[in-house]
Structure 1
Amino acid sequence: MTRLRGPALRVVLLAAVGLGGCSSSPGAGKTELHVSAAMSLKEAFTDLEAGFEAEHPEVDVVFNFAGSQILAAQIVAGAPADVFASADRAQMERAATSGRMQPARVFARNRLVIVAPASDTAIQGPADLSRPGLRLVLAGEAVPVGAYAREALHRAGVRDAALANVVSNEENVRGVLTKVAGGEADAGVVYATNVTGELAGIVRTIAFAGADDVVPAYEIAALADSPQQTLAGAFVDRVAGPAGAAALGKRGFLPP
Structure 2
Amino acid sequence: MTRSARRTRRTLQVAGAGAAALLALSACSSSDNSSAEPDSSASTGSSKKLSGTVTVFAAASLKESFTTLGKGFEKTHPGTKVTFNFGGSDTLAASITGGAPADVFAAASPKTMAIVTDAKDAVGTPSTFVRNQLEIATLPGNPDKVSSLKDLTKSGLKVVLCDRTVPCGAAAQKALEASRLELTPVSYEQDVKSALTKVELKEADAAVVYRTDVKAAGDRVEGVEFPESTEAINDYPITLLKGAPNADAAKAFIALVQSAEGQKVLTAAGFLKP
Normalised by the size of structure 1, how large is the TM-score?
0.83
Give the drift of 1:114: 0.8
1:104 aligns with 2:123: no
CA distance in 2, matches of 1:97, 1:109: 22
CA distance in 1, matches of 2:202, 2:213: 17
Give the drift of 1:230: 1.7
Contact 1:48 1:243 in 2 (8 A): no
Q: Which consecutive aligned stretches of 4+ in structure 1 deviate over 6 angstroms post-superposition? A: none
Identity over aligned residues, as a percent?
Answer: 39
Match of 1:196 among 215, 232, 242: 215
Contact 2:174 2:231 in 1 (8 A): no
1:125 aligns with 2:148: yes
Give the drift of 1:121: 4.1
Please identify which structure carries the higher helix content.
2
Match of 1:138 among 161, 165, 169: 161
CA distance in 1, matches of 2:154, 2:194: 22
CA distance in 1, matches of 2:52, 2:220: 40
Give the drift of 1:244: 1.3
The count of residues paired between Structure 1 and Structure 2 equals 222
Q: Which amino acid aligns with 2:164?
A: E
Partner of 2:226: 208
Match of 1:240 among 245, 255, 258: 258
Q: Which amino acid aligns with 1:175?
A: S
Q: Which amino acid aligns with 1:145?
A: C
Paired residue secondary structure (1:222): strand
Give the drift of 1:202: 2.6
Paired residue secondary structure (1:78): coil
Paired residue secondary structure (1:92): helix
Greater relative contact order (CA < 8 Å, ≥ 6 in sequence): 2
Q: Gapped runs of 5+ residues in structure 1?
A: 1-29
Contact 2:135 2:214 in 1 (8 A): no
CA distance in 1, matches of 2:229, 2:188: 21
Q: Which amino acid aligns with 1:203?
A: V
Partner of 2:175: 152
Partner of 2:104: 83
Q: Deviation string for 1:192-212 (max 9, x for gaps)?
A: 111235x33232111122341
Q: Which amino acid aligns with 1:251?
A: A
Q: Which amino acid aligns with 1:69?
A: D
Give the drift of 1:58: 2.4
Q: Gapped runs of 5+ residues in structure 2?
A: 1-50
Give the drift of 1:146: 0.7
Contact 1:75 1:98 in 2 (8 A): no
Paired residue secondary structure (2:105): strand
Paired residue secondary structure (2:228): coil
Contact 1:39 1:172 in 2 (8 A): yes
Paired residue secondary structure (2:73): helix
Q: Deviation string for 1:127-155 (max 9, x for gaps)?
A: 11122232110010111111111111111
1:116 aligns with 2:138: yes
Match of 2:91 among 62, 66, 70: 70
Q: How does 1:9-48 map to 2 (within 5 A)?
A: 31-48=52-69
Q: Which amino acid aligns with 1:80?
A: P
CA distance in 2, matches of 1:112, 1:46: 22
